[in-house]
Amino acid sequence: MPVDDPPPAGDARARLELRAILALLDAQRRRVTVYAERYGPRPAEHVPVAAPSAATPLPPSSQEMIDALPMPALLLSPVFGEKGELKDAVCLALNPEARAYGISRLPEGVTPPWDKPGSLYERFPSLATTTIPGLLVDVHRKRTPQRSDTVEWLVMTHAGPVRVNAEVRIAPCGEHFLLTWEPGSRLRMAAAAQRLMRTCWAEWNLGDDGIQPSRRFHHVLGLAEDTPAPSLFHLAEAVTPDSLPFLYQMLYDVILRKRTAECELRLRGGARTFRMVAEPVRITPGGLTWALRAVLIDVTTDRRRREAARRAERAARREHERAEAVAEVAAVLRDAVLPHFQDELDTYGVEAAAVYRPDAREAGVGGDWYKARSLPDGRLLVALGDARGHGLSAVTLMAKLRYALAGLAYTSESVEQLTRWLNEVACADADESTATAIVARYHPDRTLLRWTCAGHPRPVLLRDGRATQLPAPAGGAGLTLGVMPGTAYRATETPMEPGDIVLMYSDGLTERRPADPDQDTRRFLDAVEGCCRASAPRPGHAGLQECVEGIVARLDGPHRTDDATLLALRRTGGPGVG
């Protein structure tokens, strides 16, 4: 059996395993030989045979000869044309096996009775279109037996066409032809089973290393048809070193323990893997094992699928562990960067509430962020932003921008300058580190909100149950953060009356596919007004939190593919500290 390379010289264990297998087979060969010499038939002494007497019976007739055959048989006489060509064959006789086959396959009365000689092609017209005529010509010309693997023909019956297939052999018999066949269905089903299940079988004689393989033995093992079938030792030489211990154990169990055993063998080169199931062949029950009969099943595809499934399972486990770790980090980050409002803003005449919904497909926190806190100058910093991306990559940029703004706000510079500085931070971070944001200051003494827009959806003012989007600063909304260094931003002012609520939100709350910003804004305004009609915002922080929760509930759903954040700032009374 051809292999890519012999076992490596340095693989001492593999060489020892091969020697053990060879020793096991040699020892059994000697046992079989000794047994045969001791109990086998002895040569008979030569005894002169007397000449046949006149009373010796004559040889059997042609009918008696074909009746003795164990397979269906027909005795044919060739019919030649005027130019000596073979035109037909007359069926002179058939044996009981042929009669029984006809009865089992064809309804009564479909073919003429067999009580007298008749033309083969008149009896079965479709045979003329098969390989039978060619076989008859070859037998007549070459005077040697000819065979065909499969001959198929149709016989028309009252119930419909009957398909007949057989393996045919035609041999010269004096001046006649002897046509024998074996039903092709059994042989073809066996071949089909080997092909479909990638299975073959063989029987190894332990006395002389002889092997009787099945038809597709070479094909299943990947051998050329003209390659000798491998002995058990040659099979051992062809498998990988890690397969040798299992092969030895199986041979030991079958040969010495005389029981059925199995193992898995992988051919060197990694091309194929086989499951080998073997049983002992003994002449007498409990006697010596003379041969080993085995079935080999190609399980290469199954093993590859199992290995792929195991790799996928390991990858999924690693991904699950990574996701759990990321989720744990994300939870800590969320608690650290997303504030929870209570009553700390009451002295400024305002109160705040927020709802954050992370993208369920990610780690539980994303690029959305918000802030509302007092500053040393008596004003409030209010901001909401959305960093590009998802997961921890977006969290990193979000945290940088949020903490940068918190520090820069202590400079008491205008919101325009704060936004410019925030843009420089994003530009200096890395490629494609972009974000949108609303940056605002609430002036309690003047009860107005002064804000800039950097590529973000503009805030919405809810007044007396009616929601309107605030107009953009002069010149329109500013450029997204991180796109171009040195970008200037403009601010606009929004006076706030008692009961007014300013809503800042991220586009993940309203965005649908395909994107339509105008339609998204309209959807948000409708949700806000619908929520107010259903239940007007109650006083107090809890009432405001209930309001924003209701708005988010109306807009959220399985369609969402991004983080969603809503921040509400409500003026509660007169001017606060300033």
% pLDDT > 70, the chain: 86
Listed in order, the ranges of the chain carrying CATH 3.30.450.20 are 197-304
| Structural contact between residues 425 and 406, judged by C-beta atoms closer than 8 angstroms | no
Question: For the domain 338-571, what is the CATH code?
Answer: 3.60.40.10
| Tokens matching residue 52 | 């046949």
Listed in order, the ranges of the chain carrying CATH 3.60.40.10 are 338-571
Q: Which residue has the higher pLDDT, 284 or 416?
A: 416
pLDDT at 4: 47
Q: Average pLDDT in the 179-198 region?
A: 74
Per-residue pLDDT at 507 exceeds 90: no
Q: Average pLDDT in the 463-492 region?
A: 92
Whole-model pTM over 0.85: no
CATH label, 62-185, candidates 3.30.1360, 3.30.390, 1.25.40, 3.30.450: 3.30.450
Q: How confident is the model at residue 501 (pLDDT cuts 50, 70, 90)?
A: very high
Least confident of 42-51, 300-309, 317-326, 568-577: 42-51
pLDDT at 9: 44
Q: How confident is the model at residue 308 (pLDDT cuts 50, 70, 90)?
A: confident
| Structural contact between residues 435 and 401, judged by C-beta atoms closer than 8 angstroms | yes
Question: For the domain 197-304, what is the CATH code?
Answer: 3.30.450.20
Chain mean pLDDT for the chain:
84
pLDDT at 214: 87
| Structural contact between residues 228 and 10, judged by C-beta atoms closer than 8 angstroms | no
Rg over alpha carbons for the chain, rounded to the nearest Å, is: 47
Per-residue pLDDT at 54 exceeds 60: no
DSSP β-bridge partners for residue 382: 372, 440
The Cα-based distances of 303 to 233, 240, 271, 500 in angstroms read 25, 16, 12, 68
pLDDT at 41: 65
pLDDT at 186: 66
Q: Average pLDDT in the 524-547 region?
A: 90
Neighbours of 423 (CB within 10 A): 27
Q: Ranked by mean pLDDT, which of 127-136, 174-183, 252-261, 563-572 comes out on top? A: 252-261
Per-residue pLDDT at 491 exceeds 70: yes
pLDDT at 403: 86
pLDDT at 111: 75
pLDDT at 424: 92
Per-residue pLDDT at 114 exceeds 90: no
Closest CA to 146 of 86, 192, 186, 100: 86
The helix (run of H) or strand (run of E) holding residue 202 is strand 199-205
Per-residue pLDDT at 36 exceeds 90: no
Where b means 16+ CB within 10 Å and e means fewer, 133-161 reads bebbebbbeeeeebebeebebebeeeeee
